[in-house]
Structure 1
């Protein structure tokens, strides 16, 4: 049986992978798919792909586009979640900051440089008319636990992370959310190392077919809202809202979307140049 390593964030978006693994669907096809949770998010997964620790990743679109252009020899093979990610903008519960504009020029906690929390801080700054060079200051905090410590102890002033993942921390009085910042494109894609793709194309297709059959019917799974609420320690009302806002995809990313992502990243000086579609995306 062939072992294939895949990484993703330990969040509700990726429950479809867990269900397929639990049901033994990959093993039935001769694939020992090993899932690795990346609490550090996109930056940590990019490193995992570069090092060969994982063969595939379920990763933020803007993060992998940036890292491929920066030398990560991987390709996008499919959109996983079609809808945008809603980034909550959080401060410590006792912080004096009340609005997004209060945060201009203060210190943003980011999991690491090149991560989603880093890139979206630029997009939030642009959305609010801030000076990118003067009004953005960063503090690396590694992950969500690091953000709790960093904001509570005053090492950083605000932190951007997926709204529903951080909602329990808002509910329990650790964070206060001062606003939201949705991404302007499908949030998660599936990326595969080029070297692995060359010799394992059929296995990648098989893996995608299995997860796609789960995501196509995900919302129809009996008591899926309760399952998510229990597994990810969320309120059922929040899960139901999240399900109503989220759509999965079984298609590859379009040329138009790749152009949109690159145009935005280039305008913010996050990438030094724009690449051709074929250099970022592989059609299976």
Structure 2
């Protein structure tokens, strides 16, 4: 899709209800010669006062992006909009504004879908003028008919404006194990808003930009418990509370944007009372029509809130969109209203959370573990198979992979630089790195508890045929402090060599192979199975091996990583490891390694026979393993002995259990 100069507006849930009304109203304003929604009362013409948005849209053209779950319904809505607005205006008026209607899939109840939507927008477009967060839903389960009767008889106007008889179920969760209403009405939008900030800023160089949050007349705290039930899984009035929290986030985000001198505004709007299909399944045709009649009666009795039509209810949204340069800074919401004859106007109302300014910071802190995907450093080798399978299922929703082909030395450098958050790396090198002063990471788990089989490799035509011949020679290593260096020292200790090896840094596995073949190094050490194909091809040869005297692979996290986020990742990885282990019996594990890395199946079988993933939960670190590894590294002259090892200092006990 070409990146053009069109003004882009995103409307979530645009295929029906208020979202469709917003789409209709935007098109009517841009395509018509008279823009009725510009001005203080929503009925001003554009002849003497045109908004920055209309100016840009009419000059550059408009792309209206309908972000919806259902492609079929979205395409149906696009056909109606095309027929009723674009084609009709093309026949009757001389407007030359170029308008494009575009569908984009977005399921707000999925973190993965919300992030994928944002990524597509960032890939396909260079700027966004407005993100209209309209889509939402509730877990409505029926009507309390006794309560409805009582409220209708005692307070009839309130009964059709602020009904207390709608029943809602609780306990519904999303695929991310968050409250479904919370994720649909708040969190999905919050992810997208965060991800698209840069595109909003890009458009703000030419006009004010906006994030518009759809609230409700019914927005209410309803005993919302931020600490005990922040995602509203157990809340009896989750819909009303979600709109309350929407207002809190909108206000807090606006304050944050203003503090950073951004030209993007975060504004609350609501449509008043609109006749929609949200309760149709609980009412049926007759009662649904009676509800509409009750709405009209309320309007005729003087209620300003009963817009009834989604097109009229959308006025507050288009009014703010077209008048952003006149929106005040005070915490407020813009409401659609109309008189008894159906003439619409906009009023400013105080937000229901105007007195709770710290709520945004508190919720932002709680949402932090889900807002940013973890960066997982990994070595692209066979032992990472469970991680790779998990990444395929996750689809980037909670983490992204960062290749570290040079191994543990590269991983520690990236952890120190803050370029990755969590990684699987060699136990000995991690502990040596920490003792030497790299305390930017901590152990949070054990990945593989069996030893690693380090092969000692030389050139295929080298004169070396035994390990003893390599005493005092130059070993190639990937990086200083890497496993290839540490294990060469451990091997020299166990073989009781009188002459210790020298080292030459080569970087990559490919460079290490090249160094033994050009004679700049005598040998290097690398994992046996990874090297086997190059031995079979005749490029290099084995002259021996060395097993680690400790569990080979540990899991570490940067000290900056939120422990709840790290815990959630390790729990998911633990499940992936168990699933991979089950695949040993049916051959799927062998097949996966073969398909992914191209290894011979017989060799994969042999590797699997010798490897044991952690039999405890991954979030367990053995105190004796850490202590024994440190002592061995001292004996191998890799690190210096401390008076007493503080084992707990190397482990993040908020994530891992130290046994």
State TM-score, norm by structure 2. 0.41
Alpha-carbon distance in 1 for matches of 2:500, 2:431? 25
Name the counterpart of 1:280.
Answer: 650
CA drift at 1:68: 1.2
Name the counterpart of 1:71.
Answer: 437
8 Å contact from structure 1 (residues 82, 186) kept in 2 = yes
Alpha-carbon distance in 1 for matches of 2:641, 2:419? 28
8 Å contact from structure 1 (residues 110, 141) kept in 2 = yes
Alpha-carbon distance in 1 for matches of 2:496, 2:647? 30
Name the counterpart of 1:218.
Answer: 580
SS of 1:23 mapped into structure 2:
helix
CA drift at 1:266: 1.2
CA displacement 1:20-55 (0-9 Å, x = unmatched)? 11112772xxx2x11111111111111000000001
CA displacement 1:202-222 (0-9 Å, x = unmatched)? 111110011101112313225
In the alignment, structure 1 residue 120 sits paired with structure 2 residue 509: no
Query: In the TM superposition, what are the counterparts of 1:1-284 in structure 2 within 5 Å?
Result: 1-24=371-394, 27=397, 31=398, 33-72=399-438, 73-131=440-498, 134-196=499-561, 200-221=562-583, 222=586, 223-249=588-614, 250-251=617-618, 252-274=620-642, 275-283=645-653, 284=655
8 Å contact from structure 1 (residues 26, 210) kept in 2 = no
Alpha-carbon distance in 2 for matches of 1:143, 1:253? 30
8 Å contact from structure 1 (residues 9, 41) kept in 2 = yes
CA drift at 1:273: 3.4
8 Å contact from structure 2 (residues 475, 503) kept in 1 = yes
CA drift at 1:269: 2.3
Alpha-carbon distance in 2 for matches of 1:217, 1:35? 20
8 Å contact from structure 2 (residues 373, 396) kept in 1 = no
CA drift at 1:277: 1.0
8 Å contact from structure 2 (residues 489, 637) kept in 1 = no
Instruction: Tell me the C-alpha RMSD between the 2 structures.
Output: 1.3
Alpha-carbon distance in 2 for matches of 1:278, 1:69? 13
8 Å contact from structure 2 (residues 476, 523) kept in 1 = yes
CA drift at 1:8: 1.3
Alpha-carbon distance in 2 for matches of 1:129, 1:216? 40
Alpha-carbon distance in 1 for matches of 2:479, 2:576? 32
SS of 1:108 mapped into structure 2:
strand
Alpha-carbon distance in 1 for matches of 2:608, 2:508? 24
CA drift at 1:253: 1.8
SS of 1:90 mapped into structure 2:
strand
CA drift at 1:282: 1.7
CA drift at 1:237: 1.0
State TM-score, norm by structure 1. 0.93
8 Å contact from structure 1 (residues 170, 177) kept in 2 = yes
> After TM superposition, what 4+ stretches of structure 1 lie above 6 angstroms from structure 2?
none
Q: Rg larger in 1 or in 2? A: 2
CA drift at 1:124: 0.9
Alpha-carbon distance in 2 for matches of 1:102, 1:205? 47
